[in-house]
């Protein structure tokens, strides 16, 4: 049992090359206490608080050890990506906020302009990976976490090796749908993008402050449905600002295309910055 969040299991990494056959690999992750499926990592976002202590000193020590190990692995991922001038995004939201739909349209619209590779995180199945392959992604790797509720740096390291993204590309890590645990774990990404669907209600920053406090960009999605909902965009924006003054916010609709040019500009700008930084290495 994971001392950090309670999930356990074995991750399956499924490589889905463009037009090819799936290749499946099993990966086990060791705990500091001899179990499986190691978690943790606050290196890139050092402001993350550690999970609340249970009162058991041994549990606290284990949490610290697990988090420290993930920090090291996340740092290695970050170095690996930087050396290849790759801009990596940790894409997070609750289930159904529209992560995959946004990625599908983004991949199609930017085809021939920005090379987008995707690491998909789900507890089971390869539905999202299949969708991204059909959308024309440069490469897709599916991670099935089993009982796990989030991705960690070790899973992503294995997925990056399998994915082998080209230099100068964008790698989007679509995390498991969850507004709690994914916020705690550094994967080695350069930016954290959080989706907040208007269909979820405008109270999510108040209910899940840790997720929004660590965001570099918040995308308010499904805005074409605003006329039919009571989502208060001003209150939502104010709540995000209180949690993260530096976070950028954009309103988008993958259905109508509203706001997508600003999202694409953000992607191009950061991908270019990563490429420029990589050229100086």
pLDDT in tens, 112-135: 999 999 999 999 999 999 999 999
Q: Which residues make beta-bridge pairs with 91?
A: 174, 193
What percent of the chain lies above the pLDDT cut of 70? Answer: 80
Provide the pLDDT for residue 65.
75
Spatial separation of the C-alpha atoms in residues 172 and 154, rounded to whole Å = 16
38 — pLDDT class (breaks 50, 70, 90): very low
Mean predicted confidence (pLDDT) in 88-117: 97
What is the share, in percent, of the chain residues with pLDDT greater than 90?
71
Predicted confidence at residue 39, as pLDDT, reads 34
Max distance between CA atoms of the chain, in angstroms, equals: 54
Give pLDDT, residue 162. 95
Q: What is the DSSP letter of 3?
A: T
User: What are the pLDDT digits (tens) for 202-242?
Assistant: 999 999 999 999 999 999 999 999 999 999 999 999 999 99
- pLDDT category at 41 given cuts 50, 70, 90 is very low
Tokens read off for 33 = 């206490």
Q: Are 74 and 157 in contact (CB under 8 A)?
A: no
Which value, in Å, is the radius of gyration of the alpha carbons in the chain? 18
pLDDT value at position 47? Answer: 41
Over 60: is that where the pLDDT of 2 sits? no
Q: What is the pLDDT of residue 28?
A: 53
Among the listed residues 196, 170, 204, 26, the one whose alpha carbon sits nearest the alpha carbon of residue 90: 170
| Confidence category of residue 1, pLDDT binned at 50, 70, 90 | very low
Under a CB-based contact definition with an 8 Å cutoff, are residues 241 and 209 in contact?
no
Distance between CA 134 and CA 208 in Å, rounded? 33
Topology of the domain comprising 11-27+56-279:
Rossmann fold (3.40.50)
32 pLDDT exceeds 60? Answer: no
- pLDDT, residue 67, reads 75
Strand-pair partners of 14:
24, 142
Q: How far apart are the C-alpha atoms of 47 and 214, rounded to whole Å?
A: 8
The pLDDT confidence band at residue 274, using thresholds 50, 70 and 90, is very high
Question: So what's the pLDDT on residue 44?
Answer: 43
50-67 average pLDDT score: 63
Residue 267 has pLDDT above 50, yes or no: yes
């Amino acid at each position: 049992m994971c001392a950090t969040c309670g999930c356990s299991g074995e991750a399956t990494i499924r490589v889905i090359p463009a037009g090819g056959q799936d290749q499946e690999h099993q990966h086990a992750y060791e705990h500091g206490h001899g179990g499986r499926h190691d978690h943790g990592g606050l290196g890139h976002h050092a402001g993350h608080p550690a999970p609340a202590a249970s009162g058991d000193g041994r549990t606290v020590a284990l949490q610290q050890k697990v988090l420290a190990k993930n920090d090291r692995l996340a740092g290695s991922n970050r170095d690996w990506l930087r050396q290849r001038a790759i801009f990596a995004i940790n894409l997070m939201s609750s289930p159904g906020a529209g992560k995959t739909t946004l990625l599908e349209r983004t991949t199609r619209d930017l085809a021939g302009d920005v090379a987008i590779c995707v690491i998909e995180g789900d507890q089971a199945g390869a539905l999202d990976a299949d969708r991204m392959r059909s959308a024309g992604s440069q490469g897709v790797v599916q991670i099935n976490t089993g009982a796990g509720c989030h991705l960690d740096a070790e899973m992503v390291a294995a997925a990056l090796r399998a994915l082998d993204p080209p230099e100068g590309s964008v790698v989007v890590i679509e995390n498991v749908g969850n507004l709690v645990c994914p916020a705690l774990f550094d994967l080695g990404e350069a930016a954290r993008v959080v989706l907040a669907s208007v269909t979820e209600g405008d109270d999510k920053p108040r209910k899940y402050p840790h997720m929004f406090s660590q965001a570099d960009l918040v995308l308010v999605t499904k805005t074409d449905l605003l006329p039919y909902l009571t989502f208060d965009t001003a209150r939502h924006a104010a709540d995000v600002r209180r949690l993260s003054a530096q976070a950028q916010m954009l309103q988008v609709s993958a259905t109508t295309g509203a706001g997508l040019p600003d999202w694409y500009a953000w992607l191009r700008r950061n991908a270019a910055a990563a490429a420029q930084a990589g050229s100086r290495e």
